[in-house]
């Protein structure tokens, strides 16, 4: 397991300066800020010394000088590769961490390295914060490819690929392999999920197309994947209908392992999705299988409301205070009372009292058996 932030290299100021030695003007890397954990620092070699620029979060955007604002780290880095714009020099070349080369060797040794020449990229199907998601062809098989551009964030995604090599279950999106190019570009190749994200699938079909049996099947698919993660001591941390994909034969599979960590090594550096995150994870950064159970309750609500955004009509800033006082969302229209009861159990404020995924799976199977029998 690669212990590495889901976004960025965690190293000290001194380590950054050692990595950028010998000096080469325009050589740079991005690290987590020592003084402001969760924020970034851009470290740039220039005229024989290293300059450190704090990257500030402001209203959800990133800035160095509070004049130019960027949606994400990629945009910021790309901007300063074209123009110094106030920095000591423009950014010329990312310093690739030793981990990139080590990971390439490790993926080759463990049989996960794919041949770039046999991968054809066909078209973009999505844009992530750090690169494109493409449909591709690998040896005649249709695949999805997460393309991480050549920049200082690429090696951080090796953590995601590393997690995925350890996990195999029919309801998890399956990793097929990884390509790490010498110049630092990274391709994470997974099975192709033809029907896209569960949230879009629910919204586009609606209740006229999807019956109760279908909703229950999706709920069970996700629960079985999460029971597997629970049994293997992994915590997902970003479980939501947007991070579940639907295959051509209507199987729901949990995806987006960028934040998945072994339960023992969790630290928070991410900007958390408030409506899906448990109170203790928001308040004390305490992530566990039980915080995933809370998120699963929200996901159940998304499934049975056909993809509505949780906590409708409640302003975002009021969600946490109300939830901490015991507020629970009403059942979606047409949701069976037994399923709504499971949602409420997931939203118990005390994480110890919440059911395990194993218990949830057993209850859902029991509900499904009764429905099929009827």
Which residue do the tokens 């058996």 mark?
369
Q: What are the Cα distances from residue 131, in Å, to 26, 177, 198, 334?
A: 22, 18, 21, 39
Asked if residue 146 belongs to a known ligand binding site, the reply is yes
Q: What are the Cα distances from residue 354, in Å, to 45, 206, 278, 295?
A: 51, 30, 11, 12
Residues with Cβ < 8 Å from 58, sequence gap 6 or more?
A: 66, 69
E strand or H helix at 247, and its extent?
none
**Any catalytic annotation for residue 151?**
no
E strand or H helix at 333, and its extent?
none
Of the candidates 214, 211, 212, 210, which has an alpha carbon nearest to the alpha carbon of residue 338?
Answer: 212
- Distance CA(170)–CA(300), nearest Å, equals 20
- Distance CA(106)–CA(350), nearest Å, equals 41
Of the candidates 184, 186, 158, 190, which has an alpha carbon nearest to the alpha carbon of residue 7?
Answer: 158
Ramachandran angles phi, psi of 243, nearest 5°: -105, 20
Q: Which of 151, 238, 256, 292 is catalytic?
A: 238
- Burial zone of 88 (CB within 10 Å; 0-12 exposed, 13-18 middle, 19+ buried): middle
Residues with Cβ < 8 Å from 193, sequence gap 6 or more?
A: 144, 173, 245, 246, 247, 248, 253, 255
Residues tagged in the binding site annotation for ATP: 146
Binding-site residues, please? 146
Active-site annotation, residues: 238
């Amino acid at each position: 397991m690669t212990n590495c932030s889901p976004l960025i290299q965690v190293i000290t100021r001194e380590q950054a300066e050692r990595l950028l030695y010998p000096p080469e003007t325009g050589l740079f890397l991005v690290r987590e800020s020592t003084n402001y954990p969760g924020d970034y620092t851009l470290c740039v070699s220039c005229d024989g010394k290293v300059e450190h620029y704090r990257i500030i979060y402001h209203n959800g955007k990133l800035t160095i000088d509070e004049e130019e604002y960027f949606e994400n780290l990629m945009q910021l880095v790309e901007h300063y590769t074209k123009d110094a714009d106030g920095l000591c020099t423009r950014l010329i070349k990312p310093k690739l961490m030793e981990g990139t080369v080590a990971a390439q060797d490790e993926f080759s040794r463990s049989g996960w390295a794919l041949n770039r020449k046999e991968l054809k990229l066909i078209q973009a199907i999505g844009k992530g914060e750090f690169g494109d998601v493409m449909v591709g062809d690998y040896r005649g098989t249709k695949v999805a490819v997460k393309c991480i551009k050549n920049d200082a964030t690429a090696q951080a995604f090796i953590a995601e690929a590393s997690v995925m090599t350890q996990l195999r279950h029919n309801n998890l999106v399956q990793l097929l392999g990884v390509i790490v190019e010498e110049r630092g570009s990274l391709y994470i190749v997974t099975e192709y999920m033809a029907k896209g994200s569960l949230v879009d699938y629910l919204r586009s079909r609606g209740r006229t197309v999807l019956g109760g049996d279908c909703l229950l099947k999706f709920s069970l698919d996700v629960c079985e994947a999460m029971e597997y993660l629970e049994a293997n001591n992994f915590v997902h941390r970003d479980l939501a209908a947007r991070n579940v994909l639907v295959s051509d034969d209507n199987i729901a599979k949990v995806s987006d392992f960028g934040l998945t960590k072994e339960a023992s090594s969790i630290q928070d550096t991410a900007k958390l999705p408030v409506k899906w995150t448990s109170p203790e994870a928001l308040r004390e950064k305490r992530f566990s299988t039980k915080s995933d159970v809370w998120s699963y309750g929200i996901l159940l609500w998304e499934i049975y409301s056909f993809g509505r955004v949780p906590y409708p009509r409640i302003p975002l800033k009021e969600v946490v205070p109300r939830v901490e006082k015991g507020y629970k969302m009403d059942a979606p229209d047409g949701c069976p009372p037994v399923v709504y009861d499971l949602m409420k159990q997931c939203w118990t404020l005390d994480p110890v009292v919440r059911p395990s995924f194993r218990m949830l799976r057993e209850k859902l199977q029991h509900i499904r058996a009764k429905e099929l029998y009827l």
